[in-house]
Structure 1
Amino acid sequence: MGGYLTQDRAPILEALERMKRARLVPFDVPGHKRGRGNPELREFLGEKCLDVDVNSMKMLDNLCHPVSVIRDAEKLAAEAFGAAHAFFMVGGTTSAVQAMVLTAVGRGDKIIMPRNVHRSAINALILCGAVPVYVNPQMDHTLGISLGMRVEEVKDAIRRHPDAKAVLVNNPTYYGICSNLREIVRLAHEHGMMVLADEAHGTHFYFNDKLPVSAMAAGADMASISMHKSGGSLTQSSMLLCGPNVNAGYVHQVINITQTTSGSYLLLSSLDISRRNLALHGQEIFDKVIRLVEYARDEINAIGDYYAYSRELINGDSVYDFDTTKLSIFTRPTGLAGIEVYDLLRDEYDIQTEFGDIANLLAYVSVGDRPKDIERLVAALAEIRRNYRKDSSKMLKAEYIEPEVVYGPQEAFYAEKESLPIESTAGRVCSEFVMCYPPGIPILAPGERITDEILTYIRYARKKGCQMTGPEDMTIARLNVVK
């Protein structure tokens, strides 16, 4: 097949279709045997779905050691994304981020990263014992959002920690903010450091020339891609991309430490089909998304009080570029936190947005959205403003709280600990996570000192309805602290 690999092919899909035509009698797992053993599941998910929920076999290759159709699908993905190698990931972008970090650093190594990383990056440090060097993100004090990494601050971190092994960049952030990735890559490489990009929200950058530069085009060594977000594949399916100077064989060994040996062919085929769709039609798909979001922004900004922001935020540094497919909306002038608008949209208008924080709302617009859906969202936002608007003067402004890192994440997580009522923890060192999910950026991470300011923020976020996750005590009434 190798000589005939073109972007209109989908090797995993084709192999599954050949398997179905073979009418194999299954004496292997999964035990539902094409759904016959679980009629209720077959009724719910459908015959076509369960017919291809199969185990690895010779004709379908093996995700742990791909030598045929999965290898070919990964080759096509690497070509489509401009990477030297692509790995299909069935544990979500969490597994891709962790594989990047575990490849780049080991016990005691330093890694430069922004503090507003996804929890998966800090979890990787718990696993490998590396130590973070945080570049504290700039804040937009009006919007209350973290911005990108300033080049000067990355340069300063490299100067202070010349022995760091890698730099990790969020690009773009959940809100659409992009850093000067090319310059950060140049700086890091000049000092012998790898660059890892958490590109969970940037799949579309690879397929449209109106969008910010992609990590691979900027020269990053590795990038984690959430195909299931803007790429259209099934939830939990992602990719890990590698540049030419990365030992792909070693990366594969690292992936196999934590990734399942029973890769789902539903997820794998969705990656294969979605890659083909984006490679063939990505430019027009994301042209349409950009137009939809631009229209939505104009309509929302005409309502009053709301502010749907875009490229006007660009300042050439901490906001080097902006992802115009992101419909991020500042809600605080209405007197409502983003999470309150999020709850009202879901409970009163049957509209499910991506997330709300204490000042912003994110509506995720992608290939599957229609103009009439945008109209419904705009009408609901206008009605919420009319019916629920309040005085905004007493609302808490979102500020970046610079953490005091007392221990590395691994040391704190595995340290002897005690459980205290949360209100009694000020001054102690946290040994677990506290975060609002989504977006899954920790308010507290293992090894950081708990302060009155942080506790005030947690109380306020809970009161406004943010979904707090992380601690062992799921009621968030108690926290584990280092003894």
Structure 2
Amino acid sequence: MSVGQAKAPIYEALKKYRSMRVVPFDVPGHKQGKGNPELTDFLGEKCLSVDVNSMKPLDNLVHPVSVIKEAEELAADAFGAKHAFFMVNGTTSAVQAMIMSVCKQGEKIIMPRNVHRSAINALIISGAIPVYVNPGVNKKLGIPLGMAIDDVRKAIAENPDAKAIFVNNPTYYGICSDLKSITELAHRHHMYVLVDEAHGTHFYFGENMPLSAMAAGSDMSAVSMHKTGGSLTQSSFLLINNQLSVGHVRQTINLTQTTSGSYLLLSSLDISRRNLALDGKAIFNKVSSLANYARDEINKIGGYYAFSKELINGDSVFDFDCTKLSVYTREIGLAGIEVYDILRDDYGIQIEFGDIGNILAIISVGDRALALERLVSSLSEIKRLHTRDKAGMFDHEYINPEVVMPPQQAFYSNQHSVAIQNSKGYICGEFVMAYPPGIPILAPGERITQEIIDYIAYAKAKGCFLTGTEDMAIEKIKVVEE
């Protein structure tokens, strides 16, 4: 990592711009906050004064030649990448740009089915064809694992014409596949490796962390700097490596990313990159120790299981991200989503998500020991007050899908609406997912089974926030006319 990491070119250019007291006759129309006093009172004059448009001194995200270009180079150096793109449409746009950069219509991409919806959306936009590797499932926890090497090898053997392999690193629950072996295997067969590292920013800066995509030699990675790195929501990096063309990837990004890049988001990426490059080891040592402390304390309560590296099996759980505080709740007779709701409604604690059997608390740069003490004591009290018989609880999160049609074909086909409870046997034309985490229960082109219908009904009954269907009540589903 170079000594230049102390610089933050976008941030420095914005400070200089603000000091010049420029009279604005460009967009945005609030004119440094003067046109919207309520918003200025709420967000602050300093914030509104740098919510500005692209101009020569501040460069242009679509075609950077000065301060954004320099900031990209510093980010690439910090992450050990060939190039880093600043993304202001979220990691969703980074994931889509990765897939669309290497896969044309009709070309295959090997991926686990427990991908974020953004990856399947990219298939709908591009017309690429998924070859799903079903992740293993931990029977006790009911959660999907990583991709086993033998399953990847089999997918490659059966689809030697596939253009790329897509990998989650880590999953929402903290589970990592053997990324280095998958990358080497893919490269031997002339396939790109694209990595969703939405939850893996800290892998690049902490010590004793799972291997990052760039260190593994993967070709591209989408990194949510805002999730664990401290930047503003919706700001991310797209990293590229190896022989990929920077110009081609930028053109692909510009197909969907805004031409009005927010300087609030851009400067937050710049400042956060500098912060992690200079102090990341200390920051994430603290994060790890806080998470490990909370995990140990939760396991002492009994009834809960805060899982960690003991799950490692050298293959489908090749490594585990110890900063993820994932907790199995079914033994106390409560679905994760029920614990999630009780924590928020009765204790004023907002965790990342609750699903059928687990909760996840994200521990990152902004957490403090006192807040974790409060979480642990609240979970202890919830167990004391709310434990009940676990009989009749749904016991798994992940259902292997039956894929019968490419996502793009299904999404754009003639469709009609049916009640979800009467949809068995039809081909799904849209998504159904709990958000977060945004991993589809059903995606376009998949056969609807009774098990899936039962799962959706159970998730609704337990209070999961379901999304994806045209019907906002999630009672009807669009199916393909056959």
| TM-score interval (norm. to shorter) | over 0.9
8 Å contact kept, 2:298–2:306: yes
* Matching residue of 1:402: 400
8 Å contact kept, 1:5–1:72: no
* Matching residue of 1:298: 296
1:243-254 to 2 correspondences below 5 Å: 243-254=241-252
SS in 2 for 1:133: strand
AA in 1 matched with 2:160 = P
Describe the superposition over 1:375-429 as per-residue Cα deviations: whole angstroms up to 9, x where unpaired. 0000100000000000012211115321111110000000000011111111000
* Matching residue of 2:438: 440
SS in 2 for 1:249: helix
Residue from 371, 374, 383 that aligns with 1:385? 383
Residue from 57, 65, 71 that aligns with 2:69? 71
Q: Distance in 2 between matches of 1:5 and 1:380?
A: 44
SS in 1 for 2:5: coil
SS in 2 for 1:216: helix
* Matching residue of 2:53: 55
AA in 2 matched with 1:85 = H
Deviation at 1:20, TM superposition (A): 0.8
Residue from 302, 310, 334 that aligns with 2:308? 310
SS in 2 for 1:358: coil
AA in 1 matched with 2:185 = L
Q: Distance in 1 between matches of 2:387 and 2:421?
A: 32
8 Å contact kept, 2:207–2:284: no
* Matching residue of 1:462: 460
1:327-338 to 2 correspondences below 5 Å: 327-338=325-336
SS in 1 for 2:6: coil
Residue from 269, 278, 289 that aligns with 2:267? 269
Residue from 145, 150, 153 that aligns with 1:152? 150
Judging changes above 3 Å, is the alpha-carbon distance between structure 1 residues 137 and 225 closer, same or farther for their aligned structure 2 residues?
same
Describe the superposition over 1:280-336 as per-residue Cα deviations: whole angstroms up to 9, x where unpaired. 000000000000011101110000100001100000000000001010000000100
Deviation at 1:22, TM superposition (A): 1.1
AA in 2 matched with 1:134 = Y
Residue from 199, 218, 221 that aligns with 1:220? 218
* Matching residue of 2:191: 193
**Which segments of 5 or more consecutive residues in structure 2 lack a partner in the other structure?**
none
Q: Distance in 1 between matches of 2:173 and 2:401?
A: 22
* Matching residue of 2:410: 412
Q: Distance in 2 between matches of 1:142 and 1:98?
A: 33
AA in 2 matched with 1:162 = P
8 Å contact kept, 1:141–1:399: no
* Matching residue of 2:345: 347
Q: Distance in 2 between matches of 1:323 and 1:403?
A: 27
SS in 1 for 2:187: helix
AA in 1 matched with 2:4 = T
1:276-295 to 2 correspondences below 5 Å: 276-295=274-293
Q: Distance in 1 between matches of 2:104 and 2:345?
A: 46
Residue from 369, 372, 389 that aligns with 1:371? 369
Q: Distance in 1 between matches of 2:206 and 2:465?
A: 34
Number of positions where the alignment pairs a residue of Structure 1 with one of Structure 2: 480
Describe the superposition over 1:79-127 as per-residue Cα deviations: whole angstroms up to 9, x where unpaired. 0000000000000000000000000101000000000000000000000
SS in 1 for 2:464: coil
* Matching residue of 1:233: 231
Q: Distance in 2 between matches of 1:266 and 1:396?
A: 43
Q: Distance in 2 between matches of 1:30 and 1:289?
A: 38
Shifted more, 271-280 versus 239-248: the winner is: 239-248
Judging changes above 3 Å, is the alpha-carbon distance between structure 1 residues 385 and 12 closer, same or farther for their aligned structure 2 residues?
same
Shifted more, 401-410 versus 26-35: the winner is: 401-410
1:98-177 to 2 correspondences below 5 Å: 98-177=96-175
**TM-score normalised to the size of structure 2?**
0.99
SS in 1 for 2:4: coil
8 Å contact kept, 1:426–1:452: yes
Describe the superposition over 1:19-53 as per-residue Cα deviations: whole angstroms up to 9, x where unpaired. 01111000000000000000000000000100000
Q: Distance in 2 between matches of 1:333 and 1:158?
A: 39
AA in 2 matched with 1:177 = I
AA in 1 matched with 2:54 = S
Q: Distance in 1 between matches of 2:277 and 2:8?
A: 11
SS in 2 for 1:6: helix
AA in 1 matched with 2:150 = E
Deviating above 3 A after TM superposition, structure 1's stretches of 4 or more consecutive aligned residues are: none
8 Å contact kept, 1:110–1:130: yes
